[in-house]
Amino acid sequence: MTAARGLNVVGRSVARKDGVGHVTGRTVFTADRVIPGMLHLRMVRSPVHHALLKGVDLSEAKRVPGFVRALTARDVPHNKYTILSLIGVEPEEEFVLAEDRVRFRGEAIAAILAESEEAANEAVARVRLDLEELPAVFDVEEALRPGAPVVTDWGNNTFMYEGHPCRRVRLGNVEAALAQADQIVKGVYNTSPIEHAPTETTGCIAVPEGGDRFTVYTNTQALYFSLDNTSIILQVPANRLHFVGGTVGGAFGGKVDVIVEPIATLAAMKTGRPVRYVYSRSEEMQVSSTRSAWRIYLEDGVMNDGRIIARKVTSYADSGAYSRQTPYALTKHAANAAGPYNIPNVSIDAYCVYTNRQPTSAMRGFGVTMASFALEVQMDKIAERVGLDPWAIRFINAYRNGDIRPHRKLAEDATLIETMQAAARLVGHDLPPEYLAMTSAPRSSSSGEGR
């Protein structure tokens, strides 16, 4: 059938174009490049989770053989990351290099440039920081309690959505529907932060070129996004920056945060030499963005025939100390937190919460994956409560084309029913005839078919 349709990829095993290079060791990654005269950048990082930064003593670091110079906050033209402002999500609040306060253990304070990586590491070890440690908060619900340590500059520990401390979605009357339900099923679901753990750690090499231009070899997964952010942070025209991508040794969302390119390029500008800034494995694990940890509370009103008539969701995403991609992820989460089910009454309150943990960001379906985990476990609980097969509870409630989703969007590409039918065939599960006959076509009012 595949050949008859003229397809040459679908249904076939296709060799990766880069596979041979990977397994033979011939693939050139960003950090494999060696540029003559290249300096090495290592970062002085906060040893504590939360503190006032009162001073940075570089005197001993400067005595290390091979030390070239250091960069601090006052060297950065626009000392704020601009990651989300490019898509209209503000405020900017994460410093490129810390100014008066550090908010997570590992936060960047000063960049050290040296002739070798060993010299750079030695100089970093000799930097003396004057820190006044502050109370820290690590739990999302504790961060929202009165008197909790405040992580942000705006005075509370949530991202604000149109004046609200959470992203809100409302459809119907949840409280009235819960009161009418035959059964109330509740669940609390927690996920932990997950490090992307790429084979190739985050890194780049910035190289001065003629005409006051700079070439940046980077393993970012968002090349033009990284170029635009670097242009804003360094306050230089984008046409002075030439970003070169290539093989990315694993990313999964973790190489979209534009963390290394601005400071490496600034270092190349200040020294007139190529600068290599590549995370060590410990840095990749300890200070690069992780997937957010989530806590999700679900309360469902269910009828004894399996219909879910109300779903109440309260979610907390741990953004860590700064926003990065998490406020955007939370919007995606809120749009999908009721699941692919036709539920007439929905209430969703989703909070992006700041704590003194390392910042969190994108990772494979970020915001939606955690909702799916919680919802599908919840669906199994509902099936058990009302005495139905787990397949049945999903067919009964699956949304179809023409249904209104909680965020008031029309379902136009629903395929849950067909996907479940195909999955049942693959695993040899016999579905009742009424489920085999179902489709995602719009519901027919003339046939008397309800939800």
As given in the structure block, the two tokens for residue 430 are 């016999």
Residue with tokens 């984008």: 238
Q: What is the CATH number of the domain that holds 304?
A: 3.30.365.10
User: Smallest Cα–Cα separation from 295: which of 372, 188, 137, 376?
Assistant: 188
From 265, 286, 307, give the residue that closes a domain.
Answer: 286
Q: What is the pLDDT of residue 446?
A: 35
Measured CA to CA, the distance from residue 226 to residue 353 in angstroms comes to 25
Is the residue at 146 inside a domain? no
pLDDT score, position 250: 85
pLDDT of residue 450: 52
pLDDT tens, N- to C-terminus, the chain (451 residues): 444 467 778 878 888 888 888 889 888 888 889 999 999 999 999 999 999 999 999 999 999 999 999 999 999 999 998 777 777 778 889 999 999 999 999 999 999 999 999 999 999 999 999 999 999 999 999 999 999 999 999 999 999 998 999 999 999 999 999 999 999 999 999 999 999 989 899 999 999 998 899 999 999 998 998 999 999 999 999 999 999 998 888 888 888 888 999 999 999 999 999 999 999 999 999 999 999 999 999 999 999 999 999 999 999 999 999 998 899 899 999 999 999 999 999 999 999 999 999 999 888 888 899 999 999 999 999 999 999 999 999 999 999 999 999 998 898 989 999 999 999 999 999 999 999 999 999 987 434 455 5
Q: How many domains does the chain have?
A: 2
- The tokens for 386 are 């009302």
Is residue 312 helix, strand or coil? strand
Residue 232 and residue 307 in one domain: no
**pLDDT at residue 9, rounded to an integer:** 81
Q: In whole angstroms, what is the distance from residue 252 CA to residue 406 CA?
A: 29
Max Cα–Cα distance, the chain, nearest Å:
85
Query: Does residue 416 lie within any of the structural domains?
Result: no
Cα dihedral sign for 50, 51, 53, 57? negative
So what's the pLDDT on residue 3? 47
Residue type, 82: T
Tell me what pLDDT residue 11 has.
79
Pair 174, 60 in one domain: no
Give CA–CA dist 152/148, Å, rounded. Answer: 12
In residues, how long is the chain? 451
Place of tokens 């820290």: 136
Give the DSSP H/E element, type plus range, for residue 285: helix 281-286
Structural domain includes residue 25: no
Q: pTM here?
A: 0.91
Q: To 5 degrees, how large is the angle CA 116–CA 250–CA 91?
A: 85
Asked if residue 186 lies in contact with residue 14, where contact means CB atoms within 8 angstroms, the answer is no
Q: Do 323 and 362 meet the contact criterion of CB atoms below 8 Å apart?
A: no
Structural domain harbouring 268: 30-134+197-286
Both 241 and 126 in one domain: the answer is: yes
Same-domain status, 124 and 236: yes
Position 141 in a domain:
no
* Cβ(310)–Cβ(275) below 8 Å: no
Measured at the CA of 109, the angle between CA 354 and CA 224, to 5 degrees, comes to 75
Do residues 338 and 228 share a domain?
Answer: no
Q: Are residues 303 and 373 in the same domain?
A: yes
**How far apart are the C-alpha atoms of 29 and 218, rounded to whole Å?**
9
Do 172 and 202 belong together in one domain?
Answer: no
d(CA 204, CA 32): 10
